[in-house]
Amino acid sequence: METSSEESDLTEMEISSEEGDSSDIEISSEMSDSFEIEISSEESDSSEIEISSEESDSTEFPLFDLPVGTAEGVVRLMTVEEQYKLADLSDESKRAVQSVSRTENMEWIIGYNGIVTMNIKNHSHPNEYLYLFEPTEGTDKLLETVKDEISYVHDMFNFSSVRLFFLNDRRHRVLCTVIEYLKKLKIHLDEVSVCSNFSSVPSNIMNKILLHECASAKDFKLTYEITGDFEMKFWECPKFKNKSIQISEAQWIESRILNNCFMDCESVVLSKCDVSPSDLNSFLKKWIHGADIKEIIISLRQRVDRGASVMKNVLHGIESKPIHFAYLYKYKRVFDADTCFLIHQNTGKAALVYQTNQDFCLTTKFLLDSSEPAQEEVAEEEPIMVNNNEDSETMAVNAHDNGN
């Protein structure tokens, strides 16, 4: 059967049947939007359909044909992974991702535990893109790949800071290379955490490099074993300016380093220190004359007996007042006799100095309480912590003193 029309859409349909159930159907159009459908069946009930078009059947979304604000709105709805891949397509898509990321609350984490990982988080629209890579052609190739990736992520997402977590860095050049390159790009270190087991202990030279490179990181943690012969002279040690610093192997820290290199930090935790009560006394006198430290915990390697005789040596020549009750971190603490004392800086800032087993602590975050509430009251109370950073807060502490 053939049907034709010379007006408008001319179509031709041919239907033929040969030998049984076999059939072919062809529908064609001579217009610009012509298409052809072929259905065939040969000696079975199966059928095959083919659709073709003489024109390009494009399904691409015309993102950058939209107004700029609308296009950026679409990009903003994408996941971090989609934005990451989009930025690599063209200069236009790159600029769109850059523009959107400037207004987002984003975080960048670089990790290492045998392989390098990159984690990009968007806290404005909670999602993240975590990926890892490690070239097989040696450390040099790995370092170049890491540097290239750092440049790409920094450029695409406008990061000004990064967090580093390195565990068991047997290729110790990786961490140092990453830090040096980040500083070259003027990317601030928000947090640096380095942890190694005994089989991957950094060398003495590497330890010194890490201490210098991370002396201005916002948060700095070194939690690994060091070799017994490691030492750092006073003139070799940097002046740390971290908001918080934690060193798990601090036996190399002697009195002059303690008194001069940590005073610009807010929170300090030093473990396995070889300092004496006399050294602690010198540290407290230095703090009284002016320091930014709000909290410090010094754990000693050698056993120290608890009691008034130890604290008496630590506080020799320092005006102090014994304290029996205080709130620390929202919990009421009861101190043994002559183990906790109130001291003041020359500026009036107050601090508690106390001993707990091997730990000597100083904190400006406390609330004094001259009363002794019942046990059930302690459990129910939610006291306000005192952070003695301002004159008004210091006056609040002194008000308790005046009431005694």
173-210 pLDDT per residue, tens: 788 889 999 999 999 999 999 887 645 556 778 888 88
Its domain, for residue 169, covers 66-315
Give residue 69's pLDDT band: very low, low, confident or very high (50, 70, 90).
Answer: confident
Amino acid symbol at 135: P
**Predicted local confidence at residue 179, as pLDDT:** 92
Higher pLDDT, 38 or 126: 126
Q: Is residue 60 part of a domain?
A: no
Residue at which a domain ends, from 266, 289, 315: 315
Higher pLDDT, 29 or 108: 108
Q: Give first-to-last CA distance, the chain, whole Å.
A: 113
Q: Is residue 358 part of a domain?
A: no
Q: What whole-number percentage of the chain has pLDDT above 90?
A: 40
Residue at which a domain ends, from 248, 282, 315: 315
Distance CA 238, CA 300 (A): 22
Q: Decide if pLDDT at 116 tops 70.
A: yes
167 and 31 part of one domain: no
Average pLDDT for the chain: 77
Give residue 90's pLDDT band: very low, low, confident or very high (50, 70, 90).
Answer: confident
**Predicted local confidence at residue 238, as pLDDT:** 94
3-state secondary structure 116-163: EEEEEEECCCCEEEEEEECCCCHHHHHHHHHHHHHHHHHHHHCCCEEE
Closest residue by Cα to residue 212 from 187, 196, 235 = 235
- Residue 17 · residue 9 · CB < 8 Å: no
Say if residue 7 is exposed, middle or buried (CB neighbours under 10 Å; 0-12, 13-18, 19+).
exposed
**Predicted local confidence at residue 306, as pLDDT:** 59
Q: Decide if pLDDT at 7 tops 50.
A: no
Amino acid symbol at 235: W
Distance CA 368, CA 363 (A): 12
Higher pLDDT, 40 or 154: 154
**Predicted local confidence at residue 302, as pLDDT:** 74
Distance CA 347, CA 290 (A): 8
Strands (E), 197-336: 219-224, 244-247, 267-273, 295-300, 321-322, 325-328, 331-334
29 and 171 part of one domain: no
Q: What is the mean pLDDT of residues 79-107?
A: 89
Closest residue by Cα to residue 133 from 151, 120, 152, 114 = 114
Closest residue by Cα to residue 96 from 123, 64, 120 = 64
**Predicted local confidence at residue 3, as pLDDT:** 44
Residue at which a domain ends, from 315, 341, 356: 315
Q: Decide if pLDDT at 49 tops 50.
A: no
81 and 223 part of one domain: yes
**Predicted local confidence at residue 258, as pLDDT:** 94
Distance CA 339, CA 370 (A): 16
29 and 165 part of one domain: no
Worst-scoring range by mean pLDDT, 233-237, 254-258, 302-306? 302-306
Q: Is residue 373 part of a domain?
A: no
Cα dist. 75→8, 96, 160 in Å? Answer: 43, 7, 21
47 and 74 part of one domain: no
Give residue 68's pLDDT band: very low, low, confident or very high (50, 70, 90).
Answer: low
Distance CA 248, CA 251 (A): 9
Q: What whole-number percentage of the chain has pLDDT above 70?
A: 68
Q: Is residue 152 part of a domain?
A: yes
**Predicted local confidence at residue 66, as pLDDT:** 66
Q: Is residue 213 part of a domain?
A: yes
289 and 186 part of one domain: yes
144 and 16 part of one domain: no
What tokens appear for 180 in the block? 């040096």
**Predicted local confidence at residue 227, as pLDDT:** 66
What are the residues facing 224 on neighbouring strands? 196
Q: What is the mean pLDDT of residues 247-253?
A: 91
270 and 295 part of one domain: yes
- Residue 75 · residue 86 · CB < 8 Å: yes
Q: What is the mean pLDDT of residues 268-294?
A: 93
Q: Is residue 323 part of a domain?
A: no
Q: Is residue 30 part of a domain?
A: yes
HSE toward the beta carbon, residue 249, CA cutoff 13 A = 21
Q: What is the mean pLDDT of residues 78-93?
A: 89
Q: Decide if pLDDT at 38 tops 90.
A: no
Q: Which tens digits make up the pLDDT trace of 118-165?
A: 999 999 999 999 998 765 566 678 888 899 999 999 999 999 999 999
**Predicted local confidence at residue 204, as pLDDT:** 78
Q: Decide if pLDDT at 394 tops 70.
A: no
38 and 78 part of one domain: no
Q: Look up tokens 């033929």; give the residue.
A: 16
**Count of the separate structural domains present in the chain:** 2
Q: Is residue 233 part of a domain?
A: yes
Q: Note the pTM of the prediction, 2 decimals.
A: 0.71
48 and 189 part of one domain: no
47 and 73 part of one domain: no
Amino acid symbol at 376: E
73 and 203 part of one domain: yes
